[in-house]
Amino acid sequence: MILPHGILGMTKLNMLFGLAVALVLPVLGQELPKVLAIGSAIPSFSLPGTNGKTYTIADFKDAKVLCVIFTCNHCPDAVAAAPRMQEIHLAYKDKGVAVIAVDANNGESLTPDELGYSPFTDSFEEMTPFAKDFGWTFPYLYDGAKQEFATACGAQSTPHVFVFDAERKLRYTGRMDDAARKTGPVEKSFLRDALDAMLAGTEVKEPVTRSFGCSTKWLFKQAKVAADQAAWEKRPVTVADLNEELSKKIRANGTKNVRLINFWSTTCGPCVKEFPDLVETYRRFQNRPMDFVSVSVDDVAQRPAVAKFLEARHAAIPNSTARTLKEEGRETNNYQWVGGNPDAMAQAIDPEWSGALPHTILVAPGGKILWRHTGELDIVELRREILKGFE
């Protein structure tokens, strides 16, 4: 465990007490670590990067200024700030400023509904495609496993900036700028002001600001995730008959939601494989204008197998969709085709569908098909398309 600045001189008893107070241990699930004080030395770290290298403070020994930005892959504030991080790096890299990003979130400390603004989770594996999406050319490090560096710095949210001078003393901490989740020109950049002052050898006028953004997903939040999962698994799962008339209604999409429709069968290997990802995607976007309709094309006599499959994968209905169902006069979003020749269903929902399984489409409010895919899904690609549908 990394000790905060000033702890080393304590007695053993006081050290234990000091750790409990100064770190406010996250395992208690009560309070958050305190933000590192201005003038404090940078805590040590040894963290893996997306390029396969492990980084320490020594790797940045030649930098006049070291800018550490705690961020992540999922938070809308972090996603919005990602292009501006690269802009800062490009603007200051030749002036002696080293920029590093650190994902300190623990991926298992996030409930699915917290992931509705990005196609990625906060796992180490998904940091690489996230950084690639935004063309990052600076190190992206992972601290989500133990969160020692984030705890020692007191990283409160994503993003949260810590800027250290040539002696690696903290000179600025807080938010990057006033843009929040907006795009376009930045009217006020606290980070640029701090960097400019430090490079000019002057005091930072605003050394501390609040770091607005999604809270850091500490390890102790895993208990909340487990409770959320248990509650979801208790929700009822239902399946109903689908005929041609109802097929037309589902395609017409009289709601304000982007509608994801997946055609599947219990005997289709790719269908079975991808279905849990579809359910998780539904849960991710449950608080956004999206719903998920599953359509089994199994023989009518296979209803018990279809129902068992859906129940085993917890294909339940979130509260947000329950309201939409009531408005449309429906009771479920899980269906099995019972109308005879499935050509009638295909013609009603997607005339361009060849009949191959699995088949997935996104339907805008009003019935326009935004995207279609036949065969096993790339789930990240699907989530990208859903996010486009919200624009």
- Residue 35 in 3-state DSSP? coil
Per the structure, the complete domain to which residue 37 belongs is given by 12-223
Position 6 scores a pLDDT of 35
Q: Which residue from 227, 190, 225, 186 is spatially nearest to 207, judged by alpha carbons?
A: 190
At 21-59, the pLDDT tens digits run: 333 344 444 578 999 999 999 999 999 999 999 999 999
Q: Is residue 230 part of a domain?
A: no
* DSSP H helical ranges for the chain: 12-22, 76-92, 127-133, 148-153, 190-200, 222-233, 244-252, 269-284, 303-312, 319-328, 343-349, 379-389
Q: Tell whether 142 is covered by a domain.
A: yes
In the prediction, which pLDDT does 183 show?
79
Instruction: With residue 323 as reference, give the H or E element that holds it.
Output: helix 319-328
Query: Number of helices and strands (H, E) in the chain?
Result: 12, 15
pLDDT, residue 29, reads 46
Q: pLDDT tens string for the chain (391 positions)?
A: 333 333 333 333 232 223 333 333 444 445 789 999 999 999 999 999 999 999 999 999 999 999 999 999 999 999 999 999 999 999 999 999 999 999 999 999 999 999 999 999 999 999 999 999 999 999 999 999 999 999 999 999 999 999 999 999 999 999 999 988 887 788 899 999 999 999 999 999 999 999 989 999 999 999 999 999 999 999 999 999 999 999 999 999 999 999 999 999 999 999 999 999 999 999 999 999 999 999 999 999 999 999 999 999 999 999 999 888 988 899 999 999 999 999 999 999 999 999 999 999 999 999 999 999 999 999 999 999 999 999 9
One domain for residues 204 and 259: no
Do 149 and 243 reside in the same domain of the chain?
no
Question: How many structural domains is the chain composed of?
Answer: 2
Q: 284 and 113 in contact (C-beta within 8 Å)?
A: yes
- Claim to verify: residue 45 and residue 19 sit in the same structural domain: yes
- Is 282 within a domain? yes
Q: How many CA atoms lie within 13 A of 142 on its CB side?
A: 22
Angle at 293 between CA 289 and CA 299, to 5 degrees: 180
The pTM (predicted TM-score) of the whole model is 0.87
Final residue before a domain boundary, out of 186, 202, 223: 223
Q: Does 198 lie in the same domain as 58?
A: yes
My answer on whether 158 and 299 are in the same domain is no
Domain for residue 258, yes or no?
yes
pLDDT at 180: 84
Are 195 and 256 part of one and the same domain?
Answer: no
Query: In degrees to the nearest 10, what's the CA dihedral of 262, 268, 269, 274?
Result: 10
229 part of a folded domain? no
pLDDT at 185 (0 to 100): 82
Residues 277 and 358: their CA atoms lie apart, in Å, by 13
Q: What is the pLDDT of residue 27?
A: 41
Contact 260, 379 (CB under 8 A): no
- Verify that 273 and 347 share a domain, yes or no: yes
User: Of 223, 249, 268, which residue is a domain's last?
Assistant: 223
Which of 171, 201, 223 terminates a domain? The answer is 223
Question: Is residue 239 domain-resident?
Answer: yes
Tally the C-alpha atoms within 13 A of residue 240's C-alpha that lie toward its C-beta. 11
265 shares a domain with 198: no
Say yes or no: 240 and 218 in one domain.
no
CA distance 72 to 147: 13
- Whose structure tokens read 């020749």? 341
| Sign of the Cα pseudo-torsion (351, 352, 358, 361, in order) | negative
- Beta strand 334-337 pairing with 359-363: unpaired
Domain identity same for 213 and 243: no
**Same domain? 158 vs 263:** no
Residue 5 domain-assigned (yes or no) = no
In a shared domain, residues 72 and 102: yes
CB 319 within 8 A of CB 232: no
pLDDT of residue 5: 35
CATH no. for residue 352?
3.40.30.10
